[in-house]
Amino acid sequence: MRYSGIANMAMSLKPQELLVLLKVCAHPERKFTFAALSKELSMSAAEVHASVKRAVVAGLAVQRGRGDWQPIRPALQEFLLHGARYAFPAEVGAVKRGVPTSYGVPPLAGALLGGGDAPVWAHPQGSARGPSLSPIYRTAPQAALADPALHQLLALLDALRTGRARERELAGKFVLAALSGLDAAA
C-alpha cells in the first residue's frame, strides 16, 4: 500500500471524515473539488483536504492522483455498520428545537414506529422538537438542511450510532442499499 508521502504521519480518523465521505456518496454523479466540498459542508478547504488524507490512510477512500479521489464504498459500509458507534458515539441531551435525525427522517421515519419524539440536532433553523443529539460534526446540521440526500445518510448514521437493535438493523439495510445504489425495499 502506498501512502503518498504521509507514511510517517501518525493519523487517526476524525468524525468529519464521515461527513465528507457521505457527502460524496450522496451524489455519486458529481465530481467534487475540495473548494466545493468546503463550501457545501461549511468547512475550510484545508479541513476537507486533511479529511480526505486521513480517509485514504484509513482505507476508506482511494486517491488516484492529485485531487482525484473517491470513497471505497464497501470499506465505508463496514465502518459505518460496525465501527462508527464505537469510534464516534453520540451524546443525547435535553429536548430542544432542531433538525430531525435518526428515525425522524425517511426512510426510517416511515419504517419504524417511533417511541416518543425523534432526536434532533439542535439548530435555530430546525423544524422539530426532540431530544438533542450531538451531530457527527458541528457543521452537519447546516449541510443537511441544504442537501436532503446527505441529510438522509447522516440520519441513518445517527440511527446506527444511537439506535436500539431493531433501529440499527433497519438503518444498516438502508445504508447498504444507499451506498450500493440499490433499492432497500428489494
Q: What is the pLDDT of residues 19-40, one digit of tens each?
A: 999 999 999 999 999 999 999 9
In which band, very low, low, confident or very high, does the pLDDT at 8 lie, cut at 50, 70 and 90?
A: very low
Pair 17, 60: CB distance under 8 Å: yes
Q: What is the mean pLDDT of residues 90-119?
A: 87
Binned at pLDDT 50, 70 and 90, residue 109 comes out as confident
Cell match 465530481: residue? 31
- CA 119 vs. chain centroid, Å, equals 16
Residue bearing the bigger pLDDT, 65 or 9: 65
**The C-alpha cell that represents 63 in the structure block:** 486517491
Beta-strand pair 92-100/68-71: unpaired
CB 76 within 8 A of CB 21: yes
What's the whole-number mean pLDDT along residues 172-186?
Answer: 77
For helices 45-58 and 16-26, the axis angle rounded to 10 degrees is 90
Q: To the nearest whole percent, how much of the chain has pLDDT over 90?
A: 77
Task: Please name the residue ranges forming H helices in 6-89.
Answer: 16-26, 34-41, 45-58, 73-82, 84-87
Q: What is the pLDDT of residue 67?
A: 78
pLDDT in tens, 39-76: 999 999 999 999 999 999 999 999 988 878 999 999 99
